[in-house]
Amino acid sequence: MHFIKKSIILLLTSFVTTTLCAQTNIYYSDIDLFWKTFDRLHTVNDSAQQIQLIQTMYLDKGTKGLKELAHIRNWTPQKFQKSIFAHPDFWASVRPNTLKVKETRAGIEKLIAAYKKLYPSFKIPAIYFTIGYLGTGGTTTETEVLIGTEIGAADSTTNSMGLNPLLQGIFKDSKGILHVVAHELTHTQHKGGDMEDRVHSNLLGYCIAEGSCDFIAELLLQYPLKTPYIRYGKEHEKEIWQKFKQEMYGTELKDWLYNGVDLGYFVGYAICKSYYEHATDKAKAIDYIINLDNEQIAELDKFLAASRYMQ
C-alpha cells in the first residue's frame, strides 16, 4: 500500500510539474497591464503625464516579451498616447476581444502538441501576448512569439473607422488569433526567426519562409486556410506564377509581401505544399521545409525544382 501511495504521489507531482512547465511558456499579463494603464490615462488630462504613465505603468512593468517587442519595433510612449486618444472607438471595441485571448491557452497547447507530433525536433517558444499601438501583429525571435494582440484579436466586429485601409482589411478577414500563433510558431523554428527584417535573401526566399508558415499552420489547424490571398491565388495561379517567375531572383518585396495583398505568401505556401505532396517521406519533407536555409540561393533553387510546382 505504501508503494502504491508513493507511486500515485510521484505521478501527480510529475503531472503538475509538466502542466506548470507547459503553462509558463504562455504569457497574457501584458493585456491586463495595458488596460489598467489605459484606464488610468483617462483620469488625467495632461499629455506629458499620460506619456509618463504609459512608460512607468506599462512599458517598464511589462513582460520580457513586451520589452523585446518594444525594442524591435521602436515603441515609444508618445506613439501609444497618440494612438489611444486618436482612435477611441477602435480601442473600446477591441477591448473585449483582447480579454478573450486569455482563454486560448488550451488551443495553443493543442497546437504545440500537434507540432511536436508533426516535427519531433520542435523547440517550444515562449509566447507573449502584448498590446501595441496598431503597428504590428507580431514577430518572432528563435525562442519567442511576440503577438500584437490589438491587431491579432481584432475582427470584423471591431470598429476600424479612420484606421489604415490595410488594417481594415486584416480585421475584416481575420481567421482568429490561433491562426496567427500557428503561423508564427514556424518562424521560431527557422534559422534566425522571422525573415521580415532580414536582407540576405531574394524574393523567392522571403516567400518560401512566409509560405512555409502558412502551409504548416494548415497542417496544425487541420483545416484548409482560406485567407484572401490564398483564395485569390488559387483562382489566378498561372498568371501569378508567370509574373512571380520574372521577379523571384530580385530583392524587391513591395509588390508581393507585407502590403496587404500578400500574394507572395500564397506563392510560398503553394511551393511548400507541392513539395510536401510530392514527397514520399512526409516527415523528412517537413524537416526540410522548416530547416531550409532561405538565405542560400542555391538551396532555394534546389527546393523549388524538387517541389515540381507548376510543372
For the stretch 220-240, pLDDT in tens is 999 999 889 999 999 999 999
Mean predicted confidence (pLDDT) in 262-289: 98
Which H or E run contains 146?
strand 144-148
Mean predicted confidence (pLDDT) in 109-133: 97
Mean pLDDT of the chain: 91
At residue 200, φ and ψ (nearest 5 deg) are: -95, 45
Strand partners, 127: 26, 145
Q: Is the confidence at residue 264, as pLDDT, over 60?
A: yes
Q: What is the pLDDT of residue 191?
A: 83
Q: Tell how strand 26-27 and strand 144-148 pair up.
A: unpaired
Q: How far is residue 152 from each of residues 7, 85, 256, 264, 297, measured CA to CA in Å? A: 44, 20, 21, 20, 32
pLDDT in tens, 73-85: 999 999 999 999 9
Q: What is the pLDDT of residue 300?
A: 97
**pTM of the predicted protein model:** 0.89
Of 8-22, 63-77, 167-181, 297-311, least confident by mean pLDDT is 8-22
Q: CA quadruple 226, 232, 235, 238: dihedral positive or negative?
A: negative
Q: Is the confidence at residue 69, as pLDDT, over 90?
A: yes
Of 18-22, 102-106, 117-121, least confident by mean pLDDT is 18-22
Quote the CA–CA distance of 177 and 59 in Å, as a whole number.
23
Contact 131, 34 (CB under 8 A): yes
